[in-house]
């Protein structure tokens, strides 16, 4: 009898207790991560501990908290496997020559008259191929800044075009960690998520391109020469790699998988295998080097061509090529595990549900829900300065609300990316804003107006929310199927609570 009473002692949190773990995380990240540059993972774990303590004080057992965390991690494991496969594929594409070829031919088309739009387009392509906005801006972006300095161009405009291009690719690339995290947090297929992003990203892309073209047409670039560094990068890439059309096949495989909605991991593995074969057949790398590249990432020291000295190349080359590998994703996976553990600890008491219900009392339409999501994303990135957390938490908090309103969770994933992921580089106090300013040599607020794609996405997201354009609805069958997930969560929580009250223990 007493055992059953233990299960009945569980209490619902007040709004203050529900918000306390979230407030704790926001304070720790804003002070520890932003001001003192502490790693975010232990700060998130401390917040999870606070959530766990509150759950226990409310009558839940330690096992209830562990079961909730384990259930959350189990649901997101397929997406985490995709992240590992992404790291493998980047290493394969790099050693096979696919990514370097895109960079090489991108630099080859530079035209000073259309510097801004060229910088935007080339950086976009490189970022899509590499999945990294920082790497694209720090390599190709720096090269374009050199071109701009040589022609006495508006460097703030050049920097804005570079940042916009870098984040266009980062947003739409299946190799991007933030894109994968957004799909993970909302429970949406990766390629379906990317396809839905086009509704806001393509209009922003077009608007940005028009701005850059018009600006370029009003620029006098007569007699301007391309800086020597660009030629050095191209000649070095030409020395290391053997270019041919088969190097594009790994990209075509990914495009085919995306259009055909094929299973993500098998498609990525097939693409990687083809790229690995290119590395051995056309680039002359050994099997050992190819395996090392997909595990630990490509390194310029692997190049053993006669007369080539890896230590003598300019610094831009290693920054451009040394990347990829499954191990490169371990940091992203760790922060995902920590954030999901926090979500599991806080959800056992239904705190997120309470918070969201209070928030949604102000929401009376699809448009106002989109605006609420945008405000949540902007607040998270503005306060925590961490793009990954700012994507994970709104996705976890608001997914059920979208489903209950008959809206597909991919609307949530798109809006979170529009508000949290892509605005990060235009906020001076974030890591991305500081990095871009330091790398490109232009203050964040100076290039902000020119990073058109980074702020127009919010505008289009709001317009589409109120007009209904590009808003994916759930069929009654889809809605019922997705709601089963939350019903099963409640049943599992109830069952574990009863068994926990019956004397189930975990040894420490």
pLDDT, tens digit (0-9, with 9 covering 90-100), for 228-280: 778 888 899 999 999 999 999 998 998 888 778 788 899 999 999 999 999 99
Query: Could you tell me the two tokens for 347?
Result: 């959800």
Tokens 């992404």 locate to 86
Report d(CA 421, CA 457) in Å as an integer: 11
Confidence check: pLDDT of 21 > 90: yes
Residues 6+ apart with CB under 8 A from 439: 134, 137, 138, 141, 142
| Helices 330-347, 177-186: inter-axial angle, 10-degree rounding | 20
Average pLDDT over residues 131-145: 81
Concatenate the DSSP letters of all residues of 336-388 into one string.
HHHHHHHHHHHHTTTHHHHHHHHHHTT--SHHHHHHHHHHHHHHHHHHH--HH
pLDDT confidence bin for 507, thresholds 50/70/90? very low
Using pLDDT thresholds of 50, 70 and 90, give the confidence band for residue 503.
very low
Which range, 19-23, 431-435, 437-441, has the best average confidence (pLDDT)? 19-23
For 17-47, give the secondary structure using H, E and C: HHHHHHHHHHHHHHHHHHHCCCCHHHHHHHH
1 — pLDDT class (breaks 50, 70, 90)? very low
76 — pLDDT class (breaks 50, 70, 90) = confident
Average pLDDT over residues 155-174: 92
DSSP state of 313: S
Q: Please tell me the distance from the alpha carbon of residue 300 to that of residue 302, in angstroms, as a whole number.
A: 5
- pLDDT value of residue 491: 58
Percent of the chain with pLDDT over 70: 93
Which range has highest mean pLDDT (110-114, 213-217, 244-248, 323-327)? 244-248
With bands split at pLDDT 50, 70 and 90, how would you rate the model's confidence at 388?
confident
How sure is the predictor about 20, in pLDDT bands with cuts at 50, 70 and 90? very high
One DSSP character per residue, 120-134 reads HHHHHHHHHHH--HH
Torsions phi, psi for 441 (to 5 deg):
75, 25
Q: Mean of the per-residue pLDDT values for the chain?
A: 87
Most confidently predicted of 37-41, 320-324, 368-372: 368-372
Nearest to 325 by CA among 386, 266, 272: 272
**Confidence at 75, pLDDT banded by 50, 70, 90:** confident
Considering only CA atoms, which of 51, 38, 43 is closest in space to residue 25? Answer: 43
Average pLDDT over residues 81-95: 90
Q: What percent of the chain has pLDDT over 90?
A: 48
Mean pLDDT value of segment 138-148: 79
105 vs 289, more confident: 289
Pick the most confident of 150-164, 214-228, 293-307: 293-307
Q: Which residues pair with 407 in a beta bridge?
A: 473
> In this structure, are residues 310 and 303 in contact, taking their beta carbons and an 8 Å threshold?
yes
Give the containing element (helix H, strand E) for 437: helix 431-440
**8 A C-beta contact, residue 255 and residue 267:** no
Could you tell me the pTM of the whole model? Answer: 0.78
What whole-number distance in Å separates Cα of residue 41 and Cα of residue 360?
30
191 in helix, strand or coil? helix
Q: How far apart are CA 314 and CA 303, in angstroms?
A: 15
d(CA 311, CA 467): 57
- Going by pLDDT thresholds of 50, 70 and 90, the confidence category of residue 488 is low
- Model pLDDT, residue 373: 94
Residue 447 in this model has a pLDDT that exceeds 70 = yes
pLDDT at 452: 96
């Amino acid at each position: 009898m007493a055992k059953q009473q233990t299960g009945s002692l569980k209490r619902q949190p007040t709004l203050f207790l529900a918000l306390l773990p979230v407030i704790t995380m926001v304070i720790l990240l804003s002070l520890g991560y932003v001001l003192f540059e502490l790693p975010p993972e232990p700060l998130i774990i401390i917040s999870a501990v606070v959530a766990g303590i509150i759950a226990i004080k409310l009558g839940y057992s330690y096992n209830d908290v562990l079961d909730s965390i384990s259930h959350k991690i189990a649901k997101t494991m397929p997406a985490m496997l995709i992240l590992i496969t992404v790291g493998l594929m980047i290493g394969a594409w790099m050693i096979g020559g696919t990514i370097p070829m895109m960079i090489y031919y991108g630099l080859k088309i530079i035209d000073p008259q259309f510097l801004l739009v060229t910088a935007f387009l080339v950086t976009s392509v490189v970022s899509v191929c590499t999945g990294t906005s920082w790497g694209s801006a720090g390599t190709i972006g720096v090269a374009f800044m050199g071109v701009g300095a040589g022609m006495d161009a508006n460097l703030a405009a050049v920097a804005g075009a570079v940042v916009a291009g870098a984040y266009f690719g980062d947003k739409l690339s299946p190799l991007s960690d933030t894109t994968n995290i957004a799909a993970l947090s909302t429970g949406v297929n990766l390629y379906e998520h990317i396809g839905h992003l086009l509704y806001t990203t393509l209009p922003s892309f077009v608007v940005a391109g028009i701005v850059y073209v018009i600006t370029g047409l009003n620029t006098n670039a007569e007699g301007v020469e391309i800086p020597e560094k660009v030629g050095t990068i191209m000649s070095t890439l030409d020395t290391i790699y053997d270019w041919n059309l088969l190097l594009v096949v790994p990209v075509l495989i990914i495009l085919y998988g995306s259009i055909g909605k094929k299973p993500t991991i098998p498609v990525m593995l097939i693409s990687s295998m083809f790229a690995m074969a290119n590395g051995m057949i056309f680039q002359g790398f050994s099997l050992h080097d190819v395996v090392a590249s997909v595990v630990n990432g490509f390194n310029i020291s692997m190049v053993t061509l006669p007369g080539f000295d890896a230590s003598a190349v300019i610094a831009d080359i290693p920054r451009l090529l040394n990347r990829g590998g499954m191990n490169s994703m371990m940091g992203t996976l760790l922060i995902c595990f920590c954030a999901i553990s926090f979500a599991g600890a806080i959800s056992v008491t239904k705190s997120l549900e309470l918070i969201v219900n209070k928030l949604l009392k102000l929401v009376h339409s699809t448009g106002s829900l989109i605006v609420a999501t945008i405000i949540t994303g902007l607040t998270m990135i503005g306060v925590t300065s961490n793009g990954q957390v700012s994507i994970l938490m709104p996705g976890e908090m608001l997914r059920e609300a979208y489903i209950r309103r008959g809206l597909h969770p991919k609307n949530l994933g798109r809006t979170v990316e529009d508000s949290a992921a892509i605005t990060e580089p235009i906020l001076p106090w974030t890591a991305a804003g500081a990095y871009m300013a330091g790398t490109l040599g232009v203050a964040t607020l100076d290039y902000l107006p020119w990073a058109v794609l980074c702020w127009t996405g919010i505008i289009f997201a709001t317009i589409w929310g109120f007009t209904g354009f590009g808003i994916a609805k759930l069929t009654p069958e889809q809605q019922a199927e997705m709601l089963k997930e939350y019903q099963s969560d409640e049943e599992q929580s109830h069952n574990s609570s009863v068994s926990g009250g019956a004397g189930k223990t975990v040894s420490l």
